[in-house]
Amino acid sequence: MNATIAGHDGKPRCRWCGAAPEFLDYHDTEWGFPVSDDRRLFEKLSLEGFQSGLSWRTILVKRENFRAAFHDFDFDRIARYTERDLDRLLGDEGIVRHRGKIEAVINNALRAQELVKREGSLAAFIWRYEPDRSQLAKPQTASTSAQSIALSKELKKQGWKFVGPTTVYAFMQAMGLINDHVEDCFIRAEVDRARQQFQRPGEGVGNR
């Protein structure tokens, strides 16, 4: 099967983005482009946790609802959530009402605060796990990597939840630590350029 499909403009794109109408813009403008903003990184880790056992389309179509429900994934604010907030979220039909996953986001907000105190920013910590080109598998042939396993292990050690190696690998793909667009996808070159121009977070430098 061909790894690409032709978009509305005739340009080749990763085949997966043709599976749902919501995927096209996400594929063209977000997936794989490097991110150093702590709030966006926390949001994506949280949404990948919610996706566990579900499709990404389910989460993507509800993303604005998630953002509203979780105060735009401001982890300093989420860390102050009370039982009233938990009840509010469990009653919110616009999101995935899974107690364990909701509690994980609240827990992870506290862990994120701790990590920022130690490292300066989430980005400074996470981007240390960017793999070398020599360590990369052929695009879209892996669901985990040595780096996603290592990052998952370290996050779990710090007390994070719903951050298994597959979840973390999908997060790394989406946030640009890996360019996993297939070779013939025209967005791959755009992501490569963005990654070349991207300033990796330095030690102790925040991007919030």
* Residue 185, Cβ density class (10 Å: 0-12 exposed, 13-18 middle, ≥19 buried): buried
Q: What is the pLDDT of residues 149-168, one digit of tens each?
A: 999 999 999 999 999 999 99
Longest CA–CA separation in the chain, Å: 51
- Residue 74, number of CB atoms within 10 A of its CB: 16
Residue 56 falls in the annotated catalytic set: yes
**Per-residue model confidence (pLDDT) at position 168:** 97
- Residue 207, number of CB atoms within 10 A of its CB: 19
HSE-up (13 A, CA, CB side) for residue 43 = 24
Q: How confident is the model at residue 51 (pLDDT cuts 50, 70, 90)?
A: very high
**Per-residue model confidence (pLDDT) at position 128:** 96
Exactly one of 31, 43, 56, 160 is catalytic; name it: 56
Q: How confident is the model at residue 1 (pLDDT cuts 50, 70, 90)?
A: low
Cβ neighbours of residue 166 under 8 Å, at least 6 residues apart?
A: 143, 144, 148
Average pLDDT over residues 165-193: 96
Exactly one of 31, 48, 81, 129 is catalytic; name it: 48
What predicted TM-score, i.e. pTM, was given to this entire model?
0.93
Exactly one of 16, 22, 26, 130 is catalytic; name it: 26
141: pLDDT strictly greater than 90: no
Average pLDDT over residues 135-139: 81
Residue 129 falls in the annotated catalytic set: no
Mean pLDDT, the chain, integer: 93
**Per-residue model confidence (pLDDT) at position 38:** 98
Q: What is the pLDDT of residues 3-48, one digit of tens each?
A: 899 988 999 999 999 999 999 999 999 999 999 999 999 999 999 9
Structure-model confidence comparison of residues 2 and 83, the more confident one: 83
**Residue 70 to residue 85: CA distance in whole angstroms:** 9
Residue 81 falls in the annotated catalytic set: no
Lowest mean pLDDT among 63-72, 92-101, 131-140, 183-192: 131-140
Question: Which of 119, 179, 171 shows the shortest CA–CA distance to 149?
Answer: 171
**Per-residue model confidence (pLDDT) at position 208:** 38
